[in-house]
Structure 1
Amino acid sequence: MSLRIVAVAAMDAAKLEASVAQELGGVAPTRTLGSVDGLVALEWSLPGTPDEAARLRTHLGARAIPADIAVLASGNARKRLLISDMDSTIIGQECLDELADFAGLKAEVSAITERAMRGELDFEGALTTRVGMLKGLGLEALDQAYAERITLNPGAATLVATMKANGAETVLVSGGFTYFTSRVADAAGFQSHRGNTLIDDGKALTGEVGRPILGREAKLTALDEYAAAAGISRDDVIAMGDGANDLAMIKASGLGIAYHAKPVVAAEAHAAIEHTDLRAALFFQGYEAKEFVG
């Protein structure tokens, strides 16, 4: 088999080439994928086995190169389904933490969120605990949180628009809440979305979550259901996320990306974005900058 090594960085192309080529025995890049807004991407093709790919991934990851570098099998580079987490992936915030701020409980709720995303707490239990803490919070807080706090991460809209323009389905799947997934999906351009449901009495939150809860396994189920509907396999899917509840779908997909993720996620993903933005996910699929939409 052969391998594709894609490096994306906010640096001069010559410097990026020299930094990576040095670790690849002086091999020159096969292709320049282009530059956009200060980001540059280069691609190398090398012979290699899956074991060699894993070793190379570890080797490159241990080097102090300020670049996002993916080591991938050649073939089937462009995926036909994008399925992504929302909080701290497509958007820069954790919606539940921002809601908690309006109840004066952000520090307490954020601490639970952090532990859950690291895989230290059961996701469902952590979710119900945090939502329970918000019982009585007025519904106007949801509107205010979205309007004042929630922002798309750089490259989110371009990633979605470019994949859609090339025939891919795009789905936002979140352990967060449909109030936010519906709005974020619309803002970023996703075609579909799934999330959990906050229960309210018409004026305030009741502190309850609709059942069943969408957690780690439900995200994997969503991947399989959308893939089946599109008539494609798991290998045709790109899945992205940052927390432990994203691991099942990330590991099952053809290209699983950890985005500024917790260590437990980055360790098991096929590639990670730590230095650049969501447009790196397009470069990892072999898109050239001139093909980007939006």
Structure 2
Amino acid sequence: MTLVATLIANPARPAITDAVLAETRRVLATGHQPRILHGEVAAEVLVPGAPESAPALAARLRAALGDEPVDVAVLPAGAHRRKRLFLADMDSTMIGQECIDELADTIGLKDRVAAITERAMRGEVAFEPALRERVALLKGLALETVAAVIEERITLNPGGRTLVRTMRAHGAHTVLVSGGFTLFTGPVAERIGFHEHRANRLIVAEGRLTGAVEEPIVGRDAKRETLVALRERLGLDAAETLAVGDGANDLAMLAEAGLGVAYRAKPAVAAAARARVEHGDLTALLYLQGYAAAEFVD
């Protein structure tokens, strides 16, 4: 059996030096030469080993590299390495904000709402009741405010457009699936280039939020069920699926995917995911699939 160890740095801070590659080969006891994916930003090397040894090898390499600003993943080098279905969380993953926190900020309630959001994303409280509680605080907010927040406050995380466009160009189906709201996922999905989006629907009356959300809520179980349903609809093997997220409500989706990636994630999510990205941008998910930068679609 063969594994592949992938090393990824942030494009703004290249760190995959010859010394890092030499140490990687020593620690992983591999005679294979590295394949450079992008200068000193990303590289990979084949490693003999069974899939069950991958987590231990990744942990060993992270420990050896110490404080180097490098993401490490050790994964199977199988036939389904390039995925054909991609599901992505939105808030704090594909975008840099938590949308509900930004809405709350417009009425002076950001600290209160953000505290609930943080606890929910860490898995300290159940997602569904936490969402209902936060949405109730937004009662009376005008739809014009939502549009202003999207225009003035929502920023795309680096590499997201390239990630989605490259996967689409290579035949993957891409879906933005969020515990947030369709009022945001619609515009964000269009800006990034996703095929479709799934999220919660806020109830609106006379141009204002009522403080309620349509049931059932898109939470942890719904995200996983979306992945399973799309996988079956497209006739794909589980190994052909990829998911990325940062919060506790993403855990089931990440576990169900052939490759689940924790992106700048909460500690419990980073610990559970098969791969985690803490230094690289979202193009890291392309390197994990074996894409070289020359293959990217911008």
Fold-level match, TM-score > 0.5?
yes
Of 67, 70, 76, 1:67 maps to 70
- Equivalent-residue separation in structure 1 for 2:205 and 2:288 (angstroms): 46
Distance in 2, matches of 1:140 and 1:195, equals: 20
Partner of 2:116: 112
CA contact (8 A) 2:16 2:70 kept: no
Residue 5 of structure 1 corresponds to 5
Amino acid at match of 1:72: L
Per the TM alignment, residue 28 of structure 1 is displaced from its structure 2 partner at its CA by: 5.4
2:221 pairs, out of 209, 217, 220, with 217
Q: Shift in Å at residue 278 of structure 1?
A: 0.4
Contact 2:16-2:43 at 8 Å conserved across structures: no
Letter in 1 for 2:174: T
How many angstroms does 1:230 deviate by?
Answer: 1.2
Q: How many residues align?
A: 291
* Correspondence for 1:269: 273
CA distance in 2, matches of 1:101, 1:263: 26
Runs of 5+ in structure 2 lacking a partner?
A: none
Secondary structure at the counterpart of residue 103 of structure 1: coil
Partner of 2:153: 149
**Matching of residue 244 in structure 1 with residue 248 in structure 2:** yes
Task: Give the superposed CA RMSD.
Answer: 1.4
Q: Which residue of 2 aligns with 1:44?
A: 45
Q: Distance in 1 between matches of 2:283 and 2:31?
A: 25
Aligned-pair CA distance for 1:30: 3.2
- 1:112, 1:15 → 2: CA distance? 44
What TM-score do you get using the length of structure 1 for normalisation? 0.95
TM-score, length basis structure 2: 0.94
Q: How do 1:1-294 residues align onto structure 2 when only pairs under 5 Å count? A: 1-9=1-9, 10-25=14-29, 27=31, 29-35=33-39, 40-62=41-63, 63-75=66-78, 76-294=80-298
Unaligned runs of 5+ in 1: none
CA distance in 2, matches of 1:54, 1:26: 16
- 2 CA distance for matches of 1:121 and 1:283? 34
Mean Cα displacement is larger for which, 55-64 or 263-272?
A: 55-64
Q: Distance in 2 between matches of 1:140 and 1:80?
A: 37
Q: Percent identity?
A: 52
How far residue 60 of structure 1 moved from its aligned partner, in angstroms, is 2.5
CA contact (8 A) 1:266 1:272 kept: yes
Shift in CA distance, 168/137, structure 1 to aligned 2, threshold 3 Å: same
Contact 1:95 1:176 in 2 (8 A): yes
8 A Cα contact 2:179 2:200, kept in partner: yes
Question: How far did 1:228 drift?
Answer: 1.3
